Amino acid sequence: MVSEKPFAEFQLECENVLANALEKLFPEIQITHIPLEKPPILELGQLASSLCFELAKQLHEKPLVLAKRLVKSMDEKQFSLIEHVAPAGGGYINFHLNFAKFAALTIESVKQLDEAYGFSKVKEPVKIIVEHTSVNPLHPIHIGQARNPMLGDTIARLLMARGHTVYRHYYIDDVGRQTSVVAYGYDKLGRPKPDTKPDHFIGPIYTITSCLVEINRLKRELNRAKIVQVEDEIIKINRELDEWVSISAELSSKYPQLFEELLNKISEDENPENSINRLNKAYEEGEPKAKSLIRKVSELCFEGFKQTLNRIDVSYDSWDWESDFVLGGHVAEVMQKLKQTPYVFMQTGVWEFNAEDVAQRLNLKTKLGLKEDYTIPSLTLARSDGTTLYTTRDIAYTLWKFKKAQKVINVIGVEQTLAQLQLKIALYALGFHQYADNLVHFAYNLVSLPGYKMSSRRGRYITFDEVMDEAVKRAYDEVSKRSPQLSDAEKRKIADFVGIGAVRYALVEVDPSKPVVFTWDRVLNFETNSAPYIQYTHARACSILRKAAKKSEKTAYTLLKEKIEHEILLSLASFPDTFIEATEYLKPNLIADFANSLADKFNTFYNALPVIKAEPQGLSNARLTLVDAVRIALRNALNLIGIVAPEKM
């Protein structure tokens, strides 16, 4: 027999046996749900029901008495995976597995399903867009942003393995002041060709230009404040100016030649801020020169992004340009439709969207998980010069996405929670209730490096490329230390997939709602809870199987009697259930937890018990099949996270 979900087979049998006993003893009692949970220790059984505590309230009997009566009335002819049932505690009913039958079911299922094991398919697959990464084309992807593609890619892999049709999208935010700033600086330099990786070339141009333009703006504001003699304003501007001058000194020291060239060129412009605003407005209006310039800069940066993401095995089905939705009239159309609702008003020359009013009129707060006394801030849709804001453009993009899919998942940092909420409310206001219901904001927390404070405005960040380079270098040193007999080519090959895998795992294994503290001693720990540790465990399983001579004797699963063997079997059998939970609730960290836990159990097993030399031969065969099942489950789990499962390390 082969089962997609071995542990679920046991659970279903327990439910049926208990339900039949209940109907036999108390036919008048109607129970819609039979509670079953895993006991805290293996000796208490593999599932336990607290049903008798609820029954006791209705029948006015002690829970333990009811438990004994129900167990006594059970028909043992219905037992297959159940070994025996016992009343326990104050009224629990504990179900104990027949581990010989369970081992046969689980291991044979793993072996026969092989690459498909664990990946239980959904009955009604849908089309889903997962939009992730979407880093602005201003500078290289840094470690603080790298969690997004790792989580987004893993979510896409999970959903695809579940049977859904998944499209990976990258939204290129090429509209707005920031892209106009970098394009302005790039243009001042004469639009040079990159002499380094393109995104690393563009990054300093953006940072220096932004700094110099801000200093110019603040100096003009200071002069105006001095003319009208507003003392508080003068103090405030001086404080900001001092900070930016400090930043400029840091950037001048870091990029002396580039800084000097940009300083000279920008100084020729009487009002750089106005020039940038004009460029921004011209781009939104589709002016050819502006479009050519900003697209060129953005494409340069994205060429670098693609190289980075390709290195870590992240790909996309679509690269969607934000400007296409502006220039194609989609954003203007959305603006017009919003203005026709009662929720948009003009305030101090700008268009505002009253999200609170929508939530009140449509009674959305409970549905959105908001407290009734929380006031949702209004959303500014457009500036006084007519240019739109990011969330306004995102409404048009979201409507476009829902023409291609039934569900949309936006992988965006927790700091964008309000913007994503306002986006969803705007969909409700426009009458797209089904779209809003199927729009998911997958929020995740920040990445931090102890002792290092990142600052984009200072150009102070550690790029994702640098992190991967360092990870591979450290992995090479570790592999050289552990396996000095390998050739240099073999060491470098192993170091690459170990280093890259270590980074991927570190950014996925923490609950998305919690911050990641990125430290090398944790990321590249070969002893516990890391990709190298799990990869090494997989390689160890492969090594055992290579060393074992082929045996023709039938496998005797009845000989797998050790507690750690039973724990491994339970872990293997529960993988499909873990996969379903991780996918349905978008918790990719559960897959990492599973792989790490199984690796722990396997290493305990390996260190405590003989496998190839186990006696009798039937026990050796049984343990070898268990090793093979672990190998398959670890490989499948690692593949979901996008990590190589090596046969040798």
- Token couple for 77: 């002819």
Mean pLDDT, rounded, for 33-52: 94
Residue keyed to tokens 């084309």: 137
CA angle centred on 298, ends 295 and 303, rounded to 5°: 120
**CA–CA distance, 53 with 103 (Å, rounded to integer):** 32
**CA–CA distance, 222 with 235 (Å, rounded to integer):** 9
What pLDDT, in 10s, does the model give residues 556-570? Answer: 899 999 999 999 999
Contact partners, residue 435, CB within 8 Å, separation at least 6: 398, 399, 402, 408, 427
What pLDDT, in 10s, does the model give residues 123-163? Answer: 999 999 999 999 999 999 999 899 999 999 999 999 999 99
What pLDDT, in 10s, does the model give residues 329-350? Answer: 999 999 999 999 999 999 988 9
DSSP state of 550: P
State percent of the chain over pLDDT 90: 86
pTM of the model: 0.93
CA angle centred on 21, ends 15 and 22, rounded to 5°: 85
What pLDDT, in 10s, does the model give residues 205-254? Answer: 999 999 999 999 999 988 888 888 778 888 999 999 999 999 999 999 99
What's residue 527's pLDDT? 82
Domains 127-175+320-448 and 464-641 share a fold: no
DSSP state of 114: G
User: Does residue 457 surpass a pLDDT of 70?
Assistant: no
**CA–CA distance, 289 with 121 (Å, rounded to integer):** 50
- Token couple for 92: 């629990």
What's residue 224's pLDDT? 87
Domain ranges of the chain: 6-97, 127-175+320-448, 177-311, 464-641
What pLDDT, in 10s, does the model give residues 73-99? Answer: 998 999 999 999 999 989 999 999 999
CATH superfamily of domain region 464-641: Isoleucyl-tRNA Synthetase; Domain 1 (1.10.730.10)
What's residue 522's pLDDT? 86
What type of residue sits at position 518?
A: F
The answer to whether the CB of 207 falls within 8 A of the CB of 251 is yes
What pLDDT, in 10s, does the model give residues 412-424? Answer: 999 999 999 999 9
Contact partners, residue 485, CB within 8 Å, separation at least 6: none
Domain boundaries 6-97, CATH class: alpha beta
Contact partners, residue 456, CB within 8 Å, separation at least 6: 138, 139, 142, 207
Question: pLDDT grade, residue 551 (50/70/90)?
Answer: low
Mean pLDDT, rounded, for 287-310: 96
- Average model confidence (pLDDT) across the chain: 94
What ranges in 483-616 are assigned the alpha helix state H? 488-508, 520-523, 531-547, 563-584, 589-608
What's residue 528's pLDDT? 86
- Token couple for 350: 């700008």
Which helix (H) or strand (E) segment holds residue 97: the answer is: strand 92-97
| Residues comprising the chain, all counted | 649
Question: pLDDT grade, residue 386 (50/70/90)?
Answer: confident
Plot region of 38 (φ>0 → left; ψ -120 to 50 → alpha; else → beta)? beta
Q: What are phi and psi of 559, to 5 degrees?
A: -85, -10
Q: Which of 10-19, 223-232, 298-307 has the lowest mean pLDDT?
A: 223-232
What's residue 550's pLDDT? 65
CATH (one of 3.30.70.100, 3.40.50.620, 3.40.190.10, 3.30.70.3400) for 127-175+320-448:
3.40.50.620
Helices 563-584 and 147-161 pack at an angle, to 10 degrees, of 100
